[in-house]
Amino acid sequence: MTGSAAAPSLLEVRGLRKFFPIRKGFLKRTVGEVRAVDDVDFQIQRGETLSLVGESGCGKTTTSRCILRALAPTAGEIRFRTVAGPVVDVATLSKNELRPLRREMQMIFQDPFSSLNPRKTLLDIVGEPLLVNGVGSRAERIARVAELLRLVGLRPEYMRRFPHAFSGGQRQRIGIARALALHPSLVVADEPVSALDVSVQAQILNLMLDLQAELGLTYLFVAHDLSVVKHVSDRVAVMYVGRIVELAETERLFTGPRHPYTEALLSAVPKPDPRRRAQRIVLEGEVADPAHPPAGCHFHPRCPYAVDVCRTETPRLVPIEPGHLVACHRAADLRLRGIGG
Amino acid sequence: MSRLQGLTPILEVRELRTYFFQDEGTVKAVDGASFNVHTGKTLGIVGESGCGKSVTARSILRIVERPGKIVGGSIRLRRFPGGGPANGAASPSGGPRPGGPTEEIDLTALDPTGREARRIRGGDIALVFQEPMTSFSPVHTIGNQIVETVRFHLGLDKDAARERAVGMLRLVGIPKPERRVDEYAFQLSGGLRQRAMIATALSCDPKILIADEPTTALDVTTQAQILDLLRTLQARQGMAVILITHNLGVVAEMCDEVVVMYLGRVVEEGPVDAIFHAPKHPYTQALLRSIPSIHAPVRTKLPTLSGSIPHPYHRPAGCPFHPRCPQAIRGTCDRAEPALEPVAGGADGHRVSCFLYPAP
**Which of B250, B288, B305 faces A270 most closely, judged by CB atoms?**
B250
**Chain center to CA of A187:** 10
**How many CB pairs lie under 8 A apart between chains A and B?**
155
pLDDT tops 60 at residue B318: yes
pLDDT grade for B98, boundaries at 50, 70 and 90: low
**Which of B48, B249, B298 faces A199 most closely, judged by CB atoms?**
B48
Percent over 70 (pLDDT), chain B: 92
The pLDDT of residue B359 is: 67
For residue A190, give every residue at least 6 positions away whose Cβ sits within 8 Å of its Cβ, in sequence order, or none.
A61, A64, A107, A108, A109, A110, A222
Across the interface, whether the CB atoms of B304 and A202 are under 8 A apart is answered: yes
Taking contacts as CB-CB distances below 8 angstroms, the residues of chain B near A233 are 298-299
Using a 10 angstrom Cβ sphere, with 0-12 exposed, 13-18 middle and 19 or more buried, the burial of residue B264 is: buried
**Which of B221, B252, B309 faces A273 most closely, judged by CB atoms?**
B252
Concatenated DSSP letters of B268-333: EEEEHHHHHHS--SHHHHHHHHHS--TTSPTT-PPP---S-PPPTTSPPSSSTTGGG-TTPPTTTT
**Domain membership flag for residue A50:** yes
Q: Give yes or no for a contact between B57 and B211, defined as CB atoms under 8 angstroms apart.
A: no
**Domain membership flag for residue A149:** no
pLDDT tops 60 at residue B140: yes
**Domain membership flag for residue A171:** no
Shortest alpha-carbon distance between residue A5 and chain B (Å): 20
Taking contacts as CB-CB distances below 8 angstroms, the residues of chain A near B295 are 271, 339, 341
Taking contacts as CB-CB distances below 8 angstroms, the residues of chain A near B301 are 205-206, 209
Helix (H, G, I), strand (E, B) or coil at A43: strand
Taking contacts as CB-CB distances below 8 angstroms, the residues of chain A near B299 are 49, 209, 231-234, 250
Shortest alpha-carbon distance between residue B306 and chain A (Å): 8
User: What phi and psi values does residue A121 have, to the nearest 5 degrees?
Assistant: -80, 170
Across the interface, whether the CB atoms of B294 and A200 are under 8 A apart is answered: no
Question: What sign for the dihedral angle of Cα A253, A256, A261, A264?
Answer: positive
CATH number at residue A94: 3.40.50.300
Q: Which residue, among B346, B287, B351, B85, has the nearest Cα to A201 in the 3D structure?
A: B287
The pLDDT of residue A302 is: 93
Under DSSP, the state recorded for A270 is: P
Taking contacts as CB-CB distances below 8 angstroms, the residues of chain B near A267 are 224
Averaged pLDDT of chain B: 87
**Which of A199, A203, A339 faces B294 most closely, judged by CB atoms?**
A339
What residue numbers bound the domain in which A223 lies? 9-104+184-326
Taking contacts as CB-CB distances below 8 angstroms, the residues of chain B near A298 are none
Shortest alpha-carbon distance between residue A261 and chain B (Å): 10
Give the chain A residue nearest B288 (alpha carbons): A272
pLDDT digits (tens, 9 = 90+) for A4-59: 445 679 999 999 999 999 888 888 888 888 999 999 999 999 999 999 999 888 99
Give the chain A residue nearest B50 (alpha carbons): A197
pLDDT tops 90 at residue B82: no
Across the interface, whether the CB atoms of B220 and A56 are under 8 A apart is answered: no
Separation between Cα atoms, residue B195 and residue B42, nearest integer Å: 19
**Domain membership flag for residue A336:** no
pLDDT tops 50 at residue B3: yes
**Domain membership flag for residue A240:** yes
**Which of A197, A203, A269 faces B249 most closely, judged by CB atoms?**
A269
More confident residue, B129 or A319: A319
Give the chain B residue nearest A281 (alpha carbons): B224
**Domain membership flag for residue A334:** no
Mutate: best of A171, A199, A221, partner B, most B CBs <10 A: A199
pLDDT tops 60 at residue B95: no
Taking contacts as CB-CB distances below 8 angstroms, the residues of chain B near A197 are 48-49, 246, 308-309
**Which of A202, A251, A280 faces B298 most closely, judged by CB atoms?**
A251
Q: First-to-last CA distance in chain A? A: 24
Is the bond preceding residue B303 a cis peptide, omega within 30 degrees?
Answer: no
Mutate: best of B294, B311, B313, partner A, most A CBs <10 A: B294
**Which of B246, B247, B296 faces A231 most closely, judged by CB atoms?**
B296
Across the interface, whether the CB atoms of A272 and B293 are under 8 A apart is answered: yes
The pLDDT of residue B6 is: 58
For residue B93, give every residue at least 6 positions away whose Cβ sits within 8 Å of its Cβ, in sequence order, or none.
B119, B120, B123, B124, B153, B204
Note the helical H segments in A37-157: 60-67, 95-102, 122-132, 138-151
**Domain membership flag for residue A15:** yes
**Count of positions (residues) in chain B:** 360
The pLDDT of residue B91 is: 41
Q: Which residues of A104-137 are buried (b: 16+ CB within 10 A; e: fewer)?
A: bbbbbbbbbeebbeeeebbbebbbbbbeeeebee
Across the interface, whether the CB atoms of A201 and B247 are under 8 A apart is answered: no
Concatenated DSSP letters of B188-207: S-HHHHHHHHHHHHHTT--S
To the question of pTM greater than 0.90 for the whole model, the response is no
**Chain center to CA of A149:** 24
Shortest alpha-carbon distance between residue A136 and chain B (Å): 33
pLDDT in tens, chain A (341 residues): 444 445 679 999 999 999 999 888 888 888 888 999 999 999 999 999 999 999 888 999 999 999 999 999 999 999 999 988 899 999 999 999 998 899 999 999 988 888 999 999 999 999 999 999 888 899 999 999 999 999 999 999 999 999 998 888 899 999 999 999 999 999 999 999 988 888 888 899 999 999 999 999 999 999 988 999 999 999 999 999 999 999 999 999 999 999 999 999 999 988 888 888 867 788 887 788 888 889 999 999 999 999 999 999 999 999 999 999 999 999 999 999 888 74
The pLDDT of residue B218 is: 82
Across the interface, whether the CB atoms of A274 and B304 are under 8 A apart is answered: no
Taking contacts as CB-CB distances below 8 angstroms, the residues of chain A near B225 are 282-283
**Which of A234, A250, A271 faces B252 most closely, judged by CB atoms?**
A271
Mutate: best of B51, B295, B300, partner A, most A CBs <10 A: B295
Mean pLDDT of B290-314: 83
Across the interface, whether the CB atoms of B291 and A200 are under 8 A apart is answered: no
The pLDDT of residue B167 is: 93
The pLDDT of residue B305 is: 82
